[in-house]
Amino acid sequence: MAIGAMAKLYFSYAAMNAGKSTLLLQASYNYRERGMRTLLLTSSLYAEEGKGVIRSRLGVESEAELFTATDDLFKVIRAQNAAAGVHCVLIDEAQFLTHDQVWQIARVADRLNIPVMAFGLRTDFQGKLFPGSSELLAIADVLREIRTICHCGAKATMVVRQGADGRVLLEGDQVSIEKTIYLSLCRRHWEEATGRWPTH
């Protein structure tokens, strides 16, 4: 980072299966290859046997610290930086950050001068913004959409949740970590799949 340059808060968002975790792990690798330390964080909702793991669909993975909705991430990151130095913070499943936590990671960039890269979904299966994503879209310095495609070839911006019988689910909790199938669709096919708009 150039002298006098300020760190930034980045938010990279997409629908499901766009490669968000792959890009996060690649960014971490690039830092570490240059002898810099990265701090990886992921939601405790996806803990595996009590441990944090960020895993891409390509089979690449890395251990990560877990965060819960009650953690003060500014304090967590400040302590990690004081103990061993942190050159970049990378957050997976950033849609699960709370409003306050988004401001906490913004303070990491503003006051500790450590860049923070957050990766997550923009909207849920009902087409509504996740709280963390809403706040990130409002205050992040840099926004980047990671593109994936619908089955029709158009850009996918929405997701649907399917039950075990293959039917599209229209109701339920915003957060579901059960064995559920999610499909990424363009807006037109999401409307048709959910019945939000007539198909004729």
* Active centre residues (catalytic): 93
* Beta-carbon contacts of residue 107 (< 8 Å; ≥ 6 apart): 74
Evaluate whether 130 touches 96 at the Cβ level (below 8 Å).
yes
Q: What does each C-alpha distance from 160 to 126, 127, 191, 196 come to in angstroms?
A: 7, 9, 10, 12
Beta bridge partners of 9: 116
Question: What are the structure tokens assigned to 120, written together?
Answer: 């997550």
Q: What does each C-alpha distance from 58 to 3, 15, 18, 170 come to in angstroms?
A: 37, 17, 12, 30
Single-letter residue type at 183: L
Evaluate whether 81 touches 114 at the Cβ level (below 8 Å).
yes
